[in-house]
Amino acid sequence: EDGSSKTVSEGSNGMDLAKAISSSLAKKAVALEINGELKDLGTPIRDGDKVKIIKVGDKKSYEVLRHTTSHVLASVVQKLFPAAKVGVGPATEKGFFYDFKISDHKISDEDLLKIEKEMKRFAEGAHQIEKFFIEDVDAKLSEYKNAGELFKAELLEEHRNNQPTEYFFVDNNGKKHWSDLCAGPHLPNTKFIKHLKLTNVSGAYWRGDTANEQLQRIYGTVWWDEEEFQNYLKQQEESEARDHRKLARQHDYFSTHEMAGAGLIFWHRKLATVRAELQKFWEKEHMKAGYEFVDTPHIAKSELWDISGHNSFYKDNMFSLKVDEEEYVLKPMNCPFHVLIFKNNKHSYRELPIRMAEMGTVYRNESSGAVHGLARVRGFTQDDAHIFCTREQFKSEIQGVFRLIDKIYSALGLDFKVEVSTKPEKAIGGDDLWDFAEKGLMESLNELGIEFEINPADGAFYGPKIDFKLKDALGRIWQGATIQLDFNLPERFDLNYIGSDSNPERPVMIHRAIFGSMERITMVLIEHFAGAFPLWLAPDQVMVIPVTDKHNEYALSIRDFLIDNDIRAKADLSSERMNYKIRTAQEEQIPYMLIVGDKEMEDNSVNVRFRRAPEQLSMSKEELLAKLRSEINNKTL
């Protein structure tokens, strides 16, 4: 890593190199990076290679640990359930999974405990992990097929010309116990695998295709040390408590209905209120940033999507219907509609940039198995906007969008990191245009002094993009805003403006969404705040609680005073005891409770209690109103 050189004898591998550097390094070494590529520690090194020893705890070591552990899982499952056939078992960001076809058994929670126990026992055996090249692919294919390992056979057939490899678990006596077709890399042996837990089992389709067989997917997690392992388990426990679907049932936020269809959200009063407040905030900030608001239809003829390119690149995700013998499409995106509005009038360079915004509801044909609460839906409302500008303006416009995103996320208490996604495999437009666009995005961020990572080949089909990854209260990452640069739709729709030389010029188009969708952002906020929304977003901001029935009329007068001053207030006039009413309001995460009794009636005051604090304050209703307004106007978190 320090750029120094090391000479070792010809034929040496990564472990030999680690030993040549220090014995302590050799004990911690788990993998090898050769010329930027992750490899097994036993991989031979050659003259001139740039190498890095990957140690226990290094960032890249987790991928090797987790992928190796997935193979231990597969070997144990096939031992405990001999009918099991294996699919694939990759590492994930926080763990691993493996897919199985088990025709005679459905894995239960009790099974997970047995499998986990056996995995730990197997790992303690310190089995060596040895790599072998498959010399005779046809013979190995026959072996797999005869054993019923059709998924392995399919993968081997695909990779027959890529020097396919097989990995074996080998015990201390040199006996081979189990093998799997895999490209690696893996740990040198299983003794490193200690802090693991199997978490759940779910259904999954082979290769994610609903046309293929459904398999059983077992998930797990594994870590290098006990502290990070326990921290992860605690975070998972907290994540489950904050799950927006669980909180939705508890607080009556939203519902879906089989009668209506999967992935279609019914917003109930409380969450609809949160949504309305977010939208008011969004509209006000956009007005200040120079946006104009538009509203467009939900469907359009298929011809429009031919011109835009969606029918070529996105058709599987689109809903279509017949109207008067013509094919129409439910819009999956708002961009072609904004293009048509721009195209409807002639424009001069003096008018640009034109910033067009819409809360536009779109529809995408997600598989029913993929829909998930508010996170993955079929119908959702994008806080969409498109900017039409000159080539000279687009960098400053991107910077303006960035500042707006930063302002809005700051108000919500959300941190973020930034990625630039480059040209995907399937894309519209030439390399020169893409290079210009990608360079422009990166220069825009560099000029703002913003750090970013490159996410290769993950851009939209029409242009590169900047992605904002949101970080919530638990440190979890969510997809947030995007800024996408598009030189292609203006070309396809023949958009023009009159330049300073009186000749027609092609505008640059910037696509951007800040919330991403109203569904996604409310999901993130529910889990971020654990349902305890700040005052300005809270569905119910104040609950007035009379001590006895004789204080009901005064409680109603306080409620009405607050409502008249645009505070969302309610009064609990139920027959329950006062302490029960307070506890109920706390459970419903209402920010302020106002206790009113004889003293408050005499003083024309209220006794104020905040949901998180035990202390109570006495103040006049005017003082309370001033406090509430200040907190709302400042968007105090």
The residues carrying an active-site annotation are 335, 364, 382, 384, 386, 465, 511
Separation of alpha carbons 392 and 542, rounded Å: 50
Distances (CA, A) of 534 to 58, 526, 563: 38, 11, 18
The CA-based diameter of the chain, rounded to the nearest angstrom, is 94
Separation of alpha carbons 398 and 512, rounded Å: 9
Beta bridge partners, 222, equal 196
Asked whether the beta carbons of 387 and 404 are under 8 A apart, the reply is: no
Element at 157 (helix H, strand E):
helix 150-158
Asked whether the beta carbons of 462 and 499 are under 8 A apart, the reply is: no
Asked whether the beta carbons of 35 and 50 are under 8 A apart, the reply is: yes
> What is the SS3 assignment for 435-503?
HHHHHHHHHHHHHHCCCCEEECCCCECCECEEEEEEECCCCCEEEEEEEEEECHHHHHCCCCEECCCCC
Distances (CA, A) of 217 to 11, 285, 585: 40, 45, 41
Q: Which residues of 586-599 are buried (b: 16+ CB within 10 A; e: fewer)?
A: bebbbbbbbbbbee
Asked whether the beta carbons of 626 and 525 are under 8 A apart, the reply is: no
Separation of alpha carbons 535 and 521, rounded Å: 17
